[in-house]
Structure 1
Amino acid sequence: MHRTYSMRQSRAPTASQLQNPPPPTSSTKSGRLFGKGGLGHALRHNAAGRFGPDLAKKLSQLVKMEKNVMRSMELVGRERMEVAQQLSIWGEACDEDVSDVTDKLGVLLYEIGELEDQYVDRYDQYRVTIKSIRNIEASVQPSRDRKQKITDQIAQLKYKEPNSPKIVVLEQELVRAEAESLVAEAQLSNITREKLKAAYTYQFDALREHCEKLAIIAGYGKHLLELVDDTPVTPGETRPAYDGFEASKAIIQDCEDALTNWVSANAKVSSNLSTRARTLSQRRRKNIRRNSEGHDLSGQDGQAFDEQHTSGTWAPAHKDEEFESEDEDDRAPSIQESAMNGETRGRQEVVV
């Protein structure tokens, strides 16, 4: 019997690939200095985060650890393909039903190995995006070091030579350094948030597609197992002739169609938030939107000026009035309210 190890002889782009084009091949699959073994894995794990600027060391360690994860996933994918081939080779010498089903199971397992390989490429998008945050952190470190160096020089001169004219020059340099550092820190804050969301969007989208397709393969694999007749026979009794060749081919074809036509919009597993989580998330999004739009404070000065001339005195707003604009859920309860609810906070007065 001809043994097949791949689900499709010629691979046309799937619906998911047409909707979201696949990324380039992972950078971890080429340029290996220590081969495919575990020596490079151990070196990266031990040396990660020991070099480079202090600000980028922690994220640098994360990037190196993720590279080890990707190498491990590559190894898993290759070994799955080898296991699929070996299963098919073993089943070739068995009865017709076992031989046919193991052949088709080998096809499904080989497909899982190829999906692992595709998942590594998409996972690398996440790792490369995280690396960009690390590079920004490394570029911000010099401005921090320069500001700290000038601050130390000023403190040293004020201690040794309080009247030195260099103090004025250094203070001017410190102002410029602080301005540069302020711009760099703002860029770091903005880029960190943008890249963090993009990176983990890549990872979770790839993980969702990978797991959904694995679930599809697992379901059709169980359909294949139903073709095996496991009814016990007595010695000397022969089993009925196997007639499931066309059925097994049809199951493989259905699995191929399901994998080809899968898109994220048709995902079976959905993450539904609870009412509390949805309410809190919406409140957070509204706060972000309100902060991004800003507040119009142009009319406050005129209103305060009119109130001052009307009453003749300038009265600051009462502390209780400041909380009237806040949500009831966000306002902290007072001591009296806490006591009425049977809740005590802070220290209690001790009567001597």
Structure 2
Amino acid sequence: MSLYTVYEFVLLMCMEIGHALRRQTAGQFGPELAKKLSQLVKMEKNVMRSMELVGRERMEVAQQLSIWGEGCDDDVSDVTDKLGVLLYEIGELEDQYVDRYDQYRVTIKSIRNIEASVQPSRDRKQKITDQIAQLKYKEPNSPKIVVLEQELVRAEAESLVAEAQLSNITREKLKAAYTYQFDALREHCEKLAIIAGYGKHLLELIDDTPVTPGETRAAYDGYEASKAIIQDCEDALTNWVTANAAVSSKLSTRARTLSQRRRNNIQRNGEGHDLSGQDQPLNDRESGLWVPASAHKGGEDYEDEDEEEEEEAGAPSVEDSTVNGEARGRQEAVAA
């Protein structure tokens, strides 16, 4: 067993242990109200770490394919080298998707923080209610009852405000979080489809016509064509925008009617706030609309001590990998 294989085995074991710990401890700490959402947040961390590993493995596979093809015939050698470039690009897309997935997770995490902040007001109201009930049972004429009832009125008012804020923020953040995720997922899948299409164009450059023993194939002349295909693919990825997405979700007449009726009811009856149009689609980082997860506000107010410890003792990160993030194609892979 090679040293690299041992490293991969240890890495996978560390990830499995970390995932199991998060699943077991999720929801066991923190305020009662936030426990269920804490479990979701930690499960999403498992998903992110798995995606990080997939992205890294994609890049390594791309390099190995290029290295293997180097010793083959000219057409196979050229095409595998270019396929390695495309597969490496998929690995980079996986890495970008993880960043955007983290934006979704941080936004969901901010709901948990709000839930945690509401719990004390609930506990205070319940505590005063219990004190009043206890005094009425033991000392029905106690003057403290009047004082506690006044405190209960104030506590109920504070709780009412906190619950309303929680309700509003939950809806706002939930829609924003899954807007991040679905926009990122749509872009990721569309770009994967683009790469897959150009990959099939590359395969057409391989002459798979059967030859008889001793027969020589025609000289390969597809170098310029393969370079052009790679360039076209990179241009297509760079120029992709949501408006030109190949796949669109179209509602049936019934679904569209019911959805419109729901929006009309919200506006007519004042049933909360219609936030369906407030979130901008997730665009490329260059657009200025995408915010890195590290800069997202409100996501780190409530710290998980157990989660932070896992971060320090968890599996090696993507940066610890032996893969050079800039190595693409055969020339760079051989030199590495």
Which category of TM-score, normalised to the shorter sequence, fits these structures? 0.7 to 0.9
1:150 & 1:220 partners in 2: Cα distance? 68
Write out aligned runs for 1:104-123 (5 A).
104-123=82-101
Please state whether the residue corresponding to 1:129 is helix, strand or coil. helix
Name the CA distance, whole Å, in 2 between partners of 1:292 and 1:264. 32
User: Of the candidates 77, 81, 99, which is equivalent to residue 103 of structure 1?
Assistant: 81
1:199-241 Cα distance to aligned partner (Å, 9 max, x none) = 0000000000000000000000000011111111111111111
- Determine whether 1:258 maps to 2:236: yes
The CA distance in 1 between the partners of 2:62 and 2:15, in whole Å, is 22
**Aligned equivalent of 1:200:** 178
Partner residue in 1 for 2:144: 166
Alignment identity in percent?
Answer: 92
- Structure 1, residues 49-90: CA drift from partner, whole Å, max 9, x if none? 110011000001100111111111000000000000000000
| Residues 157-202 of structure 1 deviation map (CA, whole Å, 9 limit, x = unaligned) | 1111111111111111111110000000000000000000000000
Deviation at 1:35, TM superposition (A): 11
Instruction: Say whether 1:267 aligns with 2:245.
Output: yes
Deviation at 1:292, TM superposition (A): 3.5
1:327 aligned residue: none
Q: What is the CA-CA distance between 1:286 and the residue it aligns to?
A: 0.9
Question: RMSD in angstroms over aligned alpha carbons?
Answer: 1.6
One-letter amino acid of the structure 2 residue matched with residue 270 of structure 1: S
1:238 counterpart letter in structure 2? T
Relative contact order higher in (CA < 8 Å, ≥ 6 apart): 2
2:158 to 180, 191, 216: 180
The structure-2 alpha-carbon separation of the partners of 1:238 and 1:245, relative to structure 1 and needing over 3 Å to count, comes to same
Instruction: For structure 2, list consecutive stretches of 5 or more residues without a partner in the other structure.
Output: 1-11, 273-336
Higher helix share: 2
2:118 is the alignment partner of 1:144: no
Unaligned runs of 5+ in 1: 1-33, 295-352
1:91 aligns with 2:95: no
| Residue 127 of structure 1: aligned partner | 105
Deviation at 1:36, TM superposition (A): 6.7
| In structure 2, distance between residues paired with 1:276 and 1:203 | 26
Distance 1:212 1:138, change over 3 A: same
2:44 paired residue number: 66
Larger radius of gyration: 1
1:7-49 residue CA offsets vs partner (Å, 9 max, x unmatched): xxxxxxxxxxxxxxxxxxxxxxxxxxx9974433322221111
Q: How many residues align?
A: 261
C-alpha contact 2:59 2:91 (8 A) present in aligned 1: yes
Give the AA of the match of 1:188. L
Task: For 2:147 and 2:175, locate their aligned partners in 1 and report how far apart those are by CA, in whole Å.
Answer: 43
